[in-house]
Structure 1
Amino acid sequence: MTLKTIKLSLITLLSSVLVLTGCSEEVSTPTAGKEYQELAEPLEGLAPVTEIFSLTCGHCRSIEQFIPELEQATEQSIAKVHVTFNESAQIAAMIYYTAVMQSDEPLSHETMDSLFAAVQMMGQVSQEEQKAAIEAVFTDNSWSSPYQIDDQQQSEMLELFQEADDISIKGRINSVPTFIVNGQYQVNVSAHEDIQSIANTINYLLNKE
C-alpha cells in the first residue's frame, strides 16, 4: 500500500468517524406511541417526574444507580411509586412503604439497593434467610421491620400502599420501570438506548404544552 493510499484511507476513516459522531450527538424529538404515551386519565398529586417501579424488578434495580444522573440531567427530584399489579409486587410494596413511613426523607440509593437485593433473593435462599435479610435492612436504619410494626404503623403503611394501588390502577401501569411526567405522560423506557435518551424524553415532556 502506497503512502498516498494510506493517507486517503485515513482521511476516509476520519470522515466516517466525524459523520457518526455528528449523528450520535443529534437529539431527535420523542414520538408519541414510541418513546412515550399519554395516559388515558391524568394522575393528580404526583411530582413532576415520578418513577414507577417494583422491588421485584431486576431492571428497576439496574436503573436505580442512574437515578442521580437522571435527576441532574432533568433538574428534577425524582419521586417513587411502587406498583401493585400482582401479588409479589403487592408484598414488595408493603415492604417498601414500611420503610418509607419511617424515614424523614427519601430513601437513600444505598438503602434502595439493599431492599432490592433482599426482595430479589426469593427462590435463591430459604424463606428464613430472606426474612433475615429484609429485617437486616430495617435494623441497619433503626426502623421496625415489616414483621414488627404495630397497628398504628400498619395503618400508615396501608394508607401509602392504597395511594400506590390507586395510581397503579388509574394509570393502567402494567410494566416497570417507567416514569410518569407531569401526571400526564408515561415514558416507554425500553424504547430508549441509554439514560441520556430517557432524560431527553423526560425534558421534552416536562416542557410539552
Structure 2
Amino acid sequence: MTELPPLRLRIAALSLALALTGAVAGCGGEDAFKPDRPTTTAVGSFGITAEQRNFHLSFRIERAGSEIRVLDVQALTGPNVEFLGAVTVWPKDLPGKNMGFGPKYPPPDAKAVHPLSEVIPAAETQVVPKPFDGPPPVYVVTGFRLVSGDVGAMNGVRVTYEADGKKETDTWTVAAIACRKTCKGPNGSDDPNFQKRVLSEAGLLPKD
C-alpha cells in the first residue's frame, strides 16, 4: 500500500457506536479532541466505487423524553477522507431498524433526515415506531468521502448537544477504514496489522 501523505487532521466543526458501540459519555469541557485507540473499527468497501465515494456512520443519543438540540459535531479524518457533515434521524424516521453504517450520504434508507439546526422536540424522542418496544435513540449520522486513493480512514466523532437545556458531550472512539478495491495488504496479501498500519499512516493513532 502506498504510504499516505503527511498528517492533516481535519477537525470539521458542525458538528460506530456504529449501531453497536457505546460512547465515552459526559466528556464535558473544552479538552482537545485527539485520536485515541478505537474501541471498534469497521473495515470494508462501504459501497465505494470510482463514481460513488461517500459513506456514513451513525451515532446514538439516548435521551428519550428530552428536547434535544445538536450544537456541534466534529470528526477526525485522515488526509484523503473528507468530513461531509452530519444530519439527525428521528425515531419516527428510522427505516424499521437501527441505523448503522454503509454506503452513500445522506443515509439512503432513512425515511427523512433533519439538519442539525432543527430542534428535536421532546414528543419526538418518545415516539415508539414499529418494530421497537420502546423509544429508540435519536441518531446523528455523519458523512464522509474518500477523496483520493484506494484506502482512507477516520477515527473518532464528538457530538455536543443540549438535552432539556443541559449541555452534554459524547465522544465515540470508533474508527472506519474504507477501501475502494480491497482491504488487504500490499498486492492483496493478508496483513494482520492492516488496521493498525492504515490508522497509523493516516496519523489517527495516539503517539505512545
The question of a shared fold, defined as TM-score above 0.5 by the shorter chain, is answered with no
Bigger helix fraction: 1
> Hey, which of these two has a bigger chunk of strand by percent?
2
Structure possessing the higher radius of gyration over alpha carbons: 1
TM-score normalised by structure 1 residue count: 0.28
TM-score (normalised: structure 2): 0.28
